[in-house]
A and B are shown apart, each in its own frame.
Chain A
């Protein structure tokens, strides 16, 4: 990371996200941005298997395989809104709320 305010998003991929009680929300696998008045703004990160399957465009095949194994409903991972993420230390992203509050 070059400056305190500059963040390399590619280095967030694979970083595990924890809440204040050290419960893990999984590793960041995908980052979603939205165009707002001419600027692309990060709005969400996806963690865990659901994030990885989204990144690989494999929710279809992955979901089918997991369905075969009876595990489709339990695809793990979270969609974490940007407002719930603290990147004061980009190498150690933290949740600003308890893990249970994330949908």
Chain B
């Protein structure tokens, strides 16, 4: 591989690591560690394997066909089918973007003491301004590279000297040690946070923004595989630090301030500020992705001109779509809805709509009109089939578990 390409791969991997965490991943991993120590690590592992496949495929689709996943779903399945995942995605995007804005607000509350809902409008303006003036490269690379600060969770986990034997056993699926409803609800929430529908839409749109072609298929595989694998280490770091700091003290995760303790444990007072900055940066990055994703899916569903790398005057409907999305979601934080509760609820809702979003992948990734000779092999098809089965199970159990074990 040429040095230039190697650099691109490295950048892609780094941005995958830096951009891996968001408010959902932090909240669900912390809850898992606090409540069940290491016993849900296997869920993070399975979720990561699923994400690797679910990210590689839309990247390959976009690189070969120059069509995004949203384009392909509408074109193959028709408007009558596509309207339903799109509407479901709008609802989830509205809630998740609200939660991510809330994450940034909470970070600022932790740093300044000023209540989070006062920060909602300034944060929303900052998100919007970055989208308005920034190119896709700046947003994807700049913000995500700042997110490498979240490696503090990996460092924290190592500093705390966890019992590595017990950590290793956490990667083996096991029944709930206690509170089965809460255990399985947390498992489903972790998966909902990891396997976010927006990943498929955003990743394929990003590949088109970056001008990927067939020559980038190897890079796509490396970024998906290596990037997501290392990124999941950060989420595992959150879980392990929570298991080491919160679980022994019987501290549950009801507020973000409690999750801050996970870095206070290894790093003392500075851990508190490290957590706040990590939370703020990762959630800001996630806000950007979530807002742009709304613009992407609306524009691609209706065939509009779109592109974050275009000036706003050159893609007006796209820019208005993400603007309205940011404005609408901000209301959730202005009125003071608890960001943590909103996060956990929206992760469960994400799990419910996953089958609608993921199932078309099996059809599209085997369509030679889009992919030519780069359609799925039988192994990938088998994995996608398993993932689809898993999403159906999650969809059925998510809401009942929310009531039984969601708190």
Chain A residues with a Cβ under 8 A of chain B: 13-14, 55-58, 60-61
Contacts and interface: CB of A to CB of B under 8 A. Distances in A.
Contacts of A13: 78, 80
> For the complex, would chain A's binding face be called helix, strand, loop or mixed by DSSP majority?
loop
Given A57-B368, A58-B363, 9 more contacts: A13-B78, A13-B80, A14-B80, A56-B77, A57-B76, A57-B363, A58-B366, A60-B366, A61-B381
A60 B366 CA distance: 8
B362 A61 contact: yes
B381 A57 contact: no
B78 A57 contact: no
B178 interface: no
B392 to A, nearest CB: 16
A61 B375 CA distance: 11
A61 B80 contact: no
Dominant secondary structure at the B interface: helix
B369 interface: yes
A14 B368 CA distance: 25
A58 B369 CA distance: 11
A61 B76 CA distance: 14
B216 interface: no
Interface in B282-296: none
Contacts of A58: 363, 366-367
Interface string B334-364: 0000000000000000000000000000110
Interface in B31-76: 76
Nearest to A29: B78
Interface in B362-395: 362-363, 366-369, 381
B367 A57 contact: yes
Given A61-B362, A61-B366, A56 B76 contact: yes
Nearest to B77: A56
Contacts of B78: 13
8 contacts: A13-B80, A14-B80, A56-B77, A57-B368, A58-B363, A58-B366, A58-B367, A61-B366
Ordered nearest first, which 5 A-B pairs have the shortest CB separation?
A61-B366, A57-B367, A56-B363, A58-B363, A56-B76
B84 to A, nearest CB: 14
Nearest to B362: A61
Contacts of A55: 76
A40 B67 CA distance: 27
A14 B78 CA distance: 11
A96 to B, nearest CB: 27
B79 to A, nearest CB: 8
A57 B368 CA distance: 8
A76 B165 CA distance: 55
Contacts of A56: 76-77, 363, 367
B54 to A, nearest CB: 18
Contacts of B381: 61
Given A13-B78, A14-B80, A57 B369 contact: yes
A68 to B, nearest CB: 10
A26 B363 CA distance: 22
Contacts of A60: 366
